Structure 1
Amino acid sequence: MEAMWLVCVAAAVVAWGFLWVWDSSERVKSREQGERLGAESRTLLAIAHPDDEAMFFAPTVLGLARLRHWVYLLCFSAGNYYNQGETRKKELLQSCDVLGIPLSSVMIIDNRDFPDDPGVQWDTEHVASVLLQHIEVNGINLVVTFDAGGVSGHSNHIALYAAVRALHSEGKLPKGCSVLTLQSVNVLRKYISLLDLPLSRLHTQDVLFVLNSKEVAQAKRAMSCHRSQLLWFRRLYILFSRYMRINSLSFL
């Protein structure tokens, strides 16, 4: 019994030491990213469905809040695949409130041009046109969205990447406007939570956001606002997904 107690104490000390070193390194990392991204920028987060902001981008949203960015959110659908659109729009607004995104900065597109349907390919030019309009109207200088893998492989996620990639490659973005895309990782890395942190540091990325314990609780509260989506497997996702704690992003 005494040996077991000593093992538990040793494990607790090691865990505390790891968290202390990690927290210290993250403070340094935050300063570095503040220099790279700039403070008090105007950022547009482009998502496909209500819950993307919490399920995938919470570390980015909260990390940008540390840098005093003004975050705008543009959601391209109401998430009406199961005829829950009205409910999901309300849930999105609740989640944004928890994450600190002003409700006046949230725009939800709810029309047949962008259906919530993985079997429908959104028109790249149309998506790009809507994106560019919101970038110009709001004076955006940083756009954040999915990468070519869409994190989950959802075609609606990938459509956003295709649109912003087209704007970037064709030189249509306003001068000084940058694009960050959220890196997709393999299934193993996706579900090992904070254990993915060493791997995230080893892999190439331009920006890395890691939440502290208080921010993780905030991200979980935001995800919990999406009550209509909290099936058993999403509850497991909240517990184990690295995207609830870690976001690695790359510039286009």
Structure 2
Amino acid sequence: MTKSMHVVVCSIVYKICVLNSRRTLRGSPTNLRFATQIVIMCWYLLLIFGIWIFVSFLTYRYLIQKKNLFQKEVFFKKPSNVLFVIAHPDDECMFFGPSITAMVQPSLSNSSSRRKQAKDVYILCLSDGNANGLGEARREELKKSCKILGLADSNVLIHNGPVFFEDSQNSVWDSKAVADTLHLYIKKLNIDSIITFDKDGISGHLNHKSIYHGVLQLMKNSKRRVAVRVFILETVSVLRKYLGFIDSVFIKPNALICTSDWINRTNIQNAMAAHKSQYVWFRRLYITFSRYLFFNTFIPLEIY
């Protein structure tokens, strides 16, 4: 930057500061020096932010290349039948996309291998998303979305009674009803591992939280206890939630993590686009910035 350009920039910054401040500094040299300090501070902030993004990108690339700790934990003995339990159509790609694609699609770092990491991966959606009378449309959207993610139609299950789970922000599902429903599907599909929401439900949705409490009741019921391992998706703060890959610097080294590479992340975005009835502007922003499009971190549900 030439000296004349620097003077112009400083003058502009100074005028902006004066217009937005009640305090007015007197004397041209002082004013120019104040503006210069503001410009230097802005450059330092940009530099720090740039370094942070660069380090985050390197961390994210490292997480893609490293061995998948979550899959190693789930399949530590043998390939498993895995059941993702979600509340609504579109939960599968808004929250669980990285882990689903990691299990059913080849990795970017190992594109020659198309062998599944699980015997079978199932999606169980407990409601049809009929909050606005769009239940039938959302059923079809879920199937299209899961097909993009790599799942066969036969592996996409939408609960259809006898117990009805209402899609509503204000509806708390009965824990026993959720537990009984899950017990039926676990036995029917010979499920070894369940993956679902934690107690905060990622977005705080009551239906998401209800699934967690239903799973908890199922695991605590000594009469109907099933031999499955449960992994819950970690809820993070709102700030971290929308940091995208930058949030990778906050992940613990020993975290159970599933990371989506660039190919699988594109597939997840395309899967979300298949939910045409839900693909509004704020969800477009969500799939651009959400950390849940880049990686999932899980916590084993321990019952004592």
Answer whether TM exceeds 0.5 for this pair.
Answer: yes
Q: Distance in 1 between matches of 2:153 and 2:199?
A: 29
Give the structure 1 partner of residue 226 of structure 2.
Answer: 174
Structure 1 residue 56, shift from structure 2 partner? 0.6
Give the structure 2 partner of residue 229 of structure 1.
Answer: 278
Give the structure 2 partner of residue 60 of structure 1.
Answer: 99
Q: Distance in 2 between matches of 1:18 and 1:191?
A: 14
The alignment partner of 2:130 has SS state of coil
Q: % of aligned pairs identical?
A: 35
Task: Could you tell me which runs of 5 or more consecutive residues in structure 1 were left unpaired when the two chains were aligned.
Answer: 2-10
Q: CA, structure 1 residues 154+34, in 2 after alignment: closer, same or farther (shift >3 Å)?
A: closer
Give the structure 2 partner of residue 86 of structure 1.
Answer: 136
Give the structure 1 partner of residue 194 of structure 2.
Answer: 143
Structure 1 residue 226, shift from structure 2 partner? 0.5
CA contact (8 A) 1:113 1:122 kept: no
Q: Distance in 2 between matches of 1:173 and 1:98?
A: 34
The alignment partner of 1:137 has SS state of helix
Q: Which of 66, 70, 91 is the aligned partner of 1:28?
A: 66
Give the structure 1 partner of residue 182 of structure 2.
Answer: 131
Query: Which residue type is aligned with residue 138 of structure 1?
Result: L
The alignment partner of 1:118 has SS state of coil
Matched, 1:159 2:196: no
Q: TM-score, normalised by structure 2?
A: 0.72
Structure 1 residue 34, shift from structure 2 partner? 3.8
Q: TM-score, normalised by structure 1?
A: 0.87
Count of aligned positions:
239
Which ranges of 4 or more aligned residues in structure 1 deviate by more than 4 Å?
Answer: 17-22
Q: RMSD of the TM alignment (CA)?
A: 2.4
Q: Which of 81, 90, 106 is the aligned partner of 1:51?
A: 90
Matched, 1:200 2:222: no
The alignment partner of 2:251 has SS state of helix
Structure 1 residue 24, shift from structure 2 partner? 4.5
The alignment partner of 2:258 has SS state of strand
CA contact (8 A) 2:195 2:232 kept: yes
94-103 vs 32-41, which moves further: 32-41
> Could you list the per-position Cα deviations for residues 200-231 of structure 1 after superposition, in whole angstroms to 9, with x for gaps in the alignment?
236x74x1111111111011011110010011
Query: Which residue type is aligned with residue 286 of structure 2?
Result: Y
Query: Which residue type is aligned with residue 109 of structure 1?
Result: H
Structure 1 residue 114, shift from structure 2 partner? 0.4
61-70 vs 51-60, which moves further: 61-70
> Could you list the per-position Cα deviations for residues 98-145 of structure 1 after superposition, in whole angstroms to 9, with x for gaps in the alignment?
111121011112457201012121111111101011011111000000
Q: CA, structure 1 residues 125+18, in 2 after alignment: closer, same or farther (shift >3 Å)?
A: closer
CA contact (8 A) 1:48 1:75 kept: yes
Structure 1 residue 92, shift from structure 2 partner? 0.1
> Could you list the per-position Cα deviations for residues 133-191 of structure 1 after superposition, in whole angstroms to 9, with x for gaps in the alignment?
1011111000000000000111110110001111122343433x100000111110010
Give the structure 1 partner of residue 126 of structure 2.
Answer: 76
Q: Distance in 2 between matches of 1:211 and 1:137?
A: 30
Matched, 1:104 2:144: no
